[in-house]
């Protein structure tokens, strides 16, 4: 039977909690490599737990040692979060065996895209993938140079950041100076032109450079501002966007998950690639509600028969609204959104199906966290 090993170093990434269920739906044997407190362990869908250290320095040696001692035990090993990817990418160095076993790309020359906004932008230029104009900031750059090479507004992005953290919007050169003063570590900053358009979130599965499965969504609600993480989305299929994803997978040599963001500029009819994070996210398990379950993509990989037909485009009135329960409840708490609470309370559009009643382990951990968050709120 097809065996996978799912790996996460941090105990704070709740996005990993339901990923084992995807592989279980695909009929895989699922082992997890994480610490006792990890969210990856907070579910009932894994078969075996390999205990690992919480401490990053120990973790990387433990993982490398385990993989080298069990070279043929797993058909696929996936690193599920940003910190694990960055940790192992830096640690592996030139070790070809560990590169092939652990990293979600097949082209070693593209490893700079892993957990690096600068790396992603450079790779887009290399493969002629449409992305906003950018420059890498250094203390040597003058404000005049920045103004001459980028059109404001721009985004100031810290190279390693996630969920909208480390991203600042700068409307003009004076706001840029003000935003820059807030950055403690100015190494590897990206200055990227801000594109006005529709935000599109994408969850995709690739295998050896080939697009296997995807879902895309427009954003209904954010936790905070535009650059924070999302709590409600409307899902659909888009044949034109699928072409962009196929090119991305082939160019980078992606083999694993992709949590991807585009901006669609309607007047130019262009999809601008904004983020390419080659790891799982919290939305992926919800693909079972869209009719395009990522688990079906995993089944294709397991069976060695990737279909590769992405000709479907969903009519505008057929988009499927999905909410992540605990995220949206926190949004309601933060914004004192009484209407949002009521909609959850009355099971609006059948939203209770998004509450993990099907997994008592995950359910208990989510409600424990919500309970603690609720009583920390100051009114």
**Cα–chain center distance at 320:** 20
- Residues ≥6 apart with Cβ < 8 Å to 181: none
Counting every residue, how long is the chain?
379
How far apart, in whole angstroms, are the C-alpha atoms of residue 45 and residue 335? 34
Q: Is the confidence at residue 293, as pLDDT, over 60?
A: yes
Q: In what order do the strands lie in the sheet with 198-207?
A: 270-277, 256-265, 198-207, 210-222, 230-236, 320-323
Q: Is the confidence at residue 378, as pLDDT, over 50?
A: no
pLDDT of 179-203, one tens digit each?
888 887 777 788 888 888 999 999 9
Q: 20 φ, ψ to 5°?
A: -55, -30
Q: Is the confidence at residue 133, as pLDDT, over 80?
A: yes
- Domains along the chain with CATH numbers: 3-103 (3.40.50.720), 105-120+197-323 (3.30.470.20), 133-193 (3.30.1490.20), 328-379 (no CATH)
How far apart, in whole angstroms, are the C-alpha atoms of residue 298 and residue 1? 13
Q: Residue 257, preceding bond cis, omega within 30 degrees?
A: no
- Residues ≥6 apart with Cβ < 8 Å to 373: 330, 333
Average pLDDT on 225-252 reads 92
How far apart, in whole angstroms, are the C-alpha atoms of residue 147 and residue 174? 11
Average pLDDT on 284-294 reads 96
Greatest Cα pair distance, the chain, in angstroms, is 60
Instruction: Work out the pLDDT band at 162, boundaries 50, 70, 90.
Output: low
Token pair 């362990």 in the structure block, residue? 41
Please report, rounded to a whole number, the percentage of residues in the chain having pLDDT higher than 70: 97
Tokens of 33: 């490599």
How far apart, in whole angstroms, are the C-alpha atoms of residue 191 and residue 78? 31
- Bridge partners (DSSP) of residue 198 are 264
Instruction: Work out the pLDDT band at 164, boundaries 50, 70, 90.
Output: low
Sign of CA dihedral 193, 141, 119, 39: negative
Please state the pTM of the whole predicted model: 0.89
87-101, 105-119, 164-178: lowest mean pLDDT where? 164-178
Indicate the average pLDDT of the chain. Answer: 91
Cα distance from N-terminal residue to C-terminal residue, the chain: 53
Alpha-carbon dihedral 310, 229, 290, 346, rounded to 10 degrees: -160
Q: Is the confidence at residue 161, as pLDDT, over 70?
A: no
| SS3 at position 27 | coil
């Amino acid at each position: 039977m097809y065996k996978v090993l799912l790996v996460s170093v941090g105990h704070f990434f709740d996005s990993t909690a339901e990923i084992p269920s995807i592989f279980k739906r695909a009929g895989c044997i699922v082992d997890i490599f994480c610490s006792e407190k990890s969210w990856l362990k907070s579910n009932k869908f894994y078969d075996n737990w390999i205990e690992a250290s919480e401490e990053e320095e120990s973790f990387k040696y433990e993982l490398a040692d385990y993989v080298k001692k069990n070279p043929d035990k797993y058909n696929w090993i996936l690193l599920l979060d940003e910190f694990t990817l960055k940790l192992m990418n830096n640690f592996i160095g030139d070790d070809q065996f560990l590169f092939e076993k652990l990293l979600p790309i097949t082209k070693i020359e593209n490893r700079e895209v892993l957990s690096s906004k600068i790396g992603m932008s450079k790779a887009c230029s290399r493969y002629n993938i449409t992305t906003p104009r950018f420059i890498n900031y250094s203390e040597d750059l003058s404000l005049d140079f920045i103004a001459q090479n980028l059109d404001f507004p721009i985004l100031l992005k810290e190279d390693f950041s996630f969920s909208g953290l480390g991203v600042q919007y700068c409307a003009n050169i004076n706001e840029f100076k003000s935003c820059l003063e807030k950055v403690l570590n100015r190494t590897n900053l990206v200055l990227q032109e801000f594109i006005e358009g529709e935000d599109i979130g994408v969850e995709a599965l690739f295998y050896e450079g080939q697009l296997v499965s995807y879902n895309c969504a427009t954003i209904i609600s954010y936790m905070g501002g535009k650059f924070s993480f999302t709590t409600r989305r409307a899902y659909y299929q888009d044949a034109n966007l699928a072409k962009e994803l196929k090119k991305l997978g082939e160019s980078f040599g992606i083999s694993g998950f992709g949590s991807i963001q585009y901006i669609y500029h309607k007047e130019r009819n262009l999809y601008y690639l904004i983020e390419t994070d080659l790891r799982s996210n919290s939305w992926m398990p919800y693909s079972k509600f869209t009719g395009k379950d990522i688990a079906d993509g995993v089944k294709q990989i397991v069976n060695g028969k990737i279909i590769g037909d992405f000709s479907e485009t969903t009519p505008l009135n057929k988009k499927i609204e999905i909410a992540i329960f605990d995220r949206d409840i926190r949004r309601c708490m933060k914004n004192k959104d009484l209407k949002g609470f009521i909609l959850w309370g009355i099971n609006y559009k059948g939203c209770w199906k998004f509450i993990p009643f099907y997994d008592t382990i995950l359910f208990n951990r989510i409600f424990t966290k919500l309970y603690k968050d609720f009583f920390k709120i100051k009114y």
